[in-house]
Structure 1
Amino acid sequence: MTTLEAQPTRKARADRRDGDLVWDGDRWRRWDGKKLRAAAYSLQPNLLRSPDSPSTWRSLDREQLEHGLALAVEQEILHNGATLVHHGPTGPVLAYRRPVNHLLHAIATVVTFGIWAFVWLLAVLDRREDRILLRIDEGGHVWATRGGTA
């Protein structure tokens, strides 16, 4: 779980640390080292839209946090096509398969009189997946951390 540390004012990118919460004028977002990201899921979504400091947010108990994380995993699997790869001590790891644009490949195959079919076959056989790690903070907000590709 991450701690609720917040930066209520806009800070320069160089001053931000991974995991800092930043108010962007509309909602709280988390700095992941490259850009600000919205929460993937939240048990208290109204808190993310309120400019009140995260230090004032009510902490949830462990049972509620585990339930919230399970709901977030379920939502990602059902609605976004994720696959649960591993459930480790720091949180669940989800994988998303990169889609292949079959219509585009079919058109290219017809236009090139079948030559493009080899490229299409390679694209299907070499589909990669992106992986993310889900973590939940004490306020019940689930944050996704991007991992590598497999």
Structure 2
Amino acid sequence: MCAVRCAVTITRTSKITNPSRQVRSLVIVGIALCGSTLATAQSASAPQAVSGADSEAQEMLYYVCGQPGFEKTVTSPDPKHPFNLGVTFEQQNGAPVSDVAVRLRRHGRVLMDFVAGGPHCLFSVPSASYRIEGTYRGEMKFEIVETGTFDTQIKW
């Protein structure tokens, strides 16, 4: 069981100017998890240090969304935890879809809940199976994916 103090949430939103205009906005969310306890929101600019065995159980979750191809220029904010999961949202005809309400679940628990700023999202999460849900124009679709998968598509 982990201590209550191991939970911290960090949210940072930045506009990126990129000549290729592939990344419209970059949203990075880090959520420190301790076992299966979801972090509570706190105002912080960096994760709080956790000592002892608790620090080994603590893991950060990150996501970033943008235009397809942006993954060539974006890296995870924590080099020890690179992006290891990806999903693309599109219409049946292949046209990209933005502004999708996204939920990432593991064992039924919501780990992330956000609106994607672009049709392609990357995640840095612990190795496991996840349910990625996307809701677009009131219609929810989902896929079950394993970490290491970057070509998942959810279509409307």
Shorter-chain TM range is: under 0.3
TM-score (norm 1): 0.26
TM-score (norm 2): 0.26
Q: Which has the higher contact order (CA 8 A, sep 6+)?
A: 1
Select the structure of larger CA radius of gyration: 1
Give the structure with the larger helix fraction.
Answer: 1
